[in-house]
């Protein structure tokens, strides 16, 4: 959306985006909207998982915007392959699927965001900027589904015990619980009456202590280690 503040964009280089969806009309619509954004450049498109991996290798995008369910390799399979081939790429799954297992698998595969196609197409640009600036994106309704799926996995014993859990401070636990509810940094700051910068510092400290790479990985870890109560 033109006019959105991009306070954390440190360079003038546009955000390079690869659009992946098996529906050509939806793909074209996304491209048309994103091409109107001065800070976003669409560097390629793909219609299936296999093409997505190849195009990612060829274009080295900052962001891959990808559907979950596609022919010739699902978005989740492509996500794993892209993270292996182009580790710097951040992946946003944009999908009609609100299945808990799809969401769980997407996060495990390395996705940084998971948004339903019911959001307005104009909101996608804001999501791209947020992920490029280090946020993980997930709608609050999907965050609830994600935690439910994690709880089931924990009960089944599918997740194995690892190293002893590093100790988080009470404030870090508060931040982690709000991240688990799907809140972004701004909303967490309002909830806890602290600055957005302080929230970022807490999130960074949490990830460093847990030796993880993203906010959603931290939630997975916290549920598995029973640091968060799931009802």
Please check the confidence at residue 26 and state whether its pLDDT lies above 80: yes
Residue 41 sits in the same domain as residue 122: yes
Confidence of residue 199 (pLDDT cuts 50, 70, 90): very high
Non-local CB neighbours of 208 within 8 Å, separated by 6+ positions: none
Number of domains observed in the structure of the chain: 2
Residue 32 sits in the same domain as residue 52: yes
Structural domain range at position 105: 15-138
Please check the confidence at residue 20 and state whether its pLDDT lies above 90: yes
Which whole-number Å values give the CA distances from 8 to 26, 40, 46, 98, 133, in the listed order?
Answer: 29, 15, 29, 30, 6
Residue 208 sits in the same domain as residue 130: no
Residues 51-66, mean pLDDT to the nearest whole number: 95
Domain final residue pick, 120, 138, 156? 138
Confidence of residue 150 (pLDDT cuts 50, 70, 90): low
Q: What are phi and psi of 79, to 5 degrees?
A: -60, -45
Tell me, yes or no, whether 76 lies in a domain: yes
Which whole-number Å values give the CA distances from 186 to 27, 125, 133, 191, 210, in the listed order?
Answer: 30, 18, 13, 9, 23
Looking at residue 141, what is its pLDDT? 66
Looking at residue 9, what is its pLDDT? 44
Q: Which residue has the higher pLDDT, 231 or 20?
A: 20
Confidence of residue 157 (pLDDT cuts 50, 70, 90): low
Q: Which of 13-17, 152-156, 187-191 has the lowest mean pLDDT?
A: 152-156
Q: What angle do CA 117, 203, 110 make, to 5 degrees?
A: 45
Q: For 143, which DSSP code?
A: H
Looking at residue 212, what is its pLDDT? 80
Looking at residue 182, what is its pLDDT? 75
Please check the confidence at residue 160 and state whether its pLDDT lies above 80: no
Residue 134 sits in the same domain as residue 165: no
Please check the confidence at residue 231 and state whether its pLDDT lies above 60: no
Looking at residue 21, what is its pLDDT? 92
Tell me, yes or no, whether 10 lies in a domain: no
Domain final residue pick, 138, 160, 186? 138
Residue 37 sits in the same domain as residue 116: yes
Q: For 54, which DSSP code?
A: H
Q: How far apart are the first and last CA of the chain?
A: 37
Please check the confidence at residue 184 and state whether its pLDDT lies above 70: yes
Please check the confidence at residue 201 and state whether its pLDDT lies above 90: yes
Closest CA to 67 of 94, 97, 42, 38: 94
Q: What percent of the chain has pLDDT over 90?
A: 35
Q: Which of 35-44, 74-83, 156-165, 200-209 has the lowest mean pLDDT?
A: 156-165
Strands 113-116 and 63-66, by their bridges, are unpaired
Domain final residue pick, 103, 138, 173? 138
CATH number of residue 160's parent domain: 3.40.50.2300
Q: Which residue has the higher pLDDT, 58 or 226?
A: 58
Residue 127 sits in the same domain as residue 25: yes
Query: d(Cα 87, Cα 183) in Å, to the nearest integer?
Result: 26
């Amino acid at each position: 959306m033109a006019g959105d503040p991009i306070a954390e964009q440190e360079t003038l280089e546009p955000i390079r985006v690869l659009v992946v969806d098996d529906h050509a009309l939806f793909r074209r619509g996304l491209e048309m909207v994103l091409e109107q954004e001065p800070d976003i450049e669409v560097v390629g498109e793909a219609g299936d998982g296999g093409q997505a991996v190849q195009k990612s290798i060829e274009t080295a995008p900052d962001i891959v915007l990808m559907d979950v369910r596609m022919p010739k390799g699902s978005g989740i399979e492509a996500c794993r392959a892209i993270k292996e081939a182009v580790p710097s790429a951040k992946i946003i799954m944009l999908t009609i699927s609100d299945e808990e297992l799809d969401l769980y698998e997407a996060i495990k595969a390395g996705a940084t965001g998971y948004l339903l196609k019911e959001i307005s197409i104009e909101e996608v640009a804001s999501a791209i900027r947020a992920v490029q600036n280090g946020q993980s994106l997930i709608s609050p309704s999907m965050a609830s589904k994600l935690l439910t799926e994690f709880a089931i996995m924990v009960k089944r014993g599918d997740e194995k015990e690892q190293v002893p859990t590093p100790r988080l401070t009470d404030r870090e636990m508060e931040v982690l619980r709000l991240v688990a509810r799907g809140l972004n940094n701004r909303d967490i700051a309002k909830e806890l009456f602290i600055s957005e910068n302080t929230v970022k510092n807490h999130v960074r400290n949490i990830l460093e202590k847990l030796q993880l790479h993203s906010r959603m990985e931290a939630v997975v870890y916290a549920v598995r280690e029973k640091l968060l109560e799931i009802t």
